Amino acid sequence: MFNIITDESKKIEMVFLFLIFLVVFGMFLMGELSSSAEAVSVSESIVINLP
């Protein structure tokens, strides 16, 4: 039973890390498409708005 729980938590953790990677990669692509300064300001505002 514990093995199933740990496996599920590992899957959730992998999905969470993958989502974070997608967000960072998407922000990087947006920065490349538009201006880098704009992407930096957006990332800074997101970090500031985090609880």
Q: Are the CB atoms for 40 and 31 separated by under 8 Å?
A: yes
pLDDT for residue 39? 59
Residue 27 belongs to what domain range?
A: 2-49
32-51 burial, b for 16+ CB within 10 Å, e for fewer? eeeeeeebeeebeeeeeeee
Domain total in the chain: 1
pLDDT for residue 21? 92
pLDDT for residue 2? 61
pLDDT for residue 27? 83
In this prediction the pTM is 0.45
Give 42's contacts (C-beta < 8 A, 6+ positions apart). Answer: 27, 30
Per-residue pLDDT 10s for the chain (51 aa) are 566 667 778 888 888 989 999 998 888 887 776 655 665 677 677 777 766
pLDDT for residue 18? 92
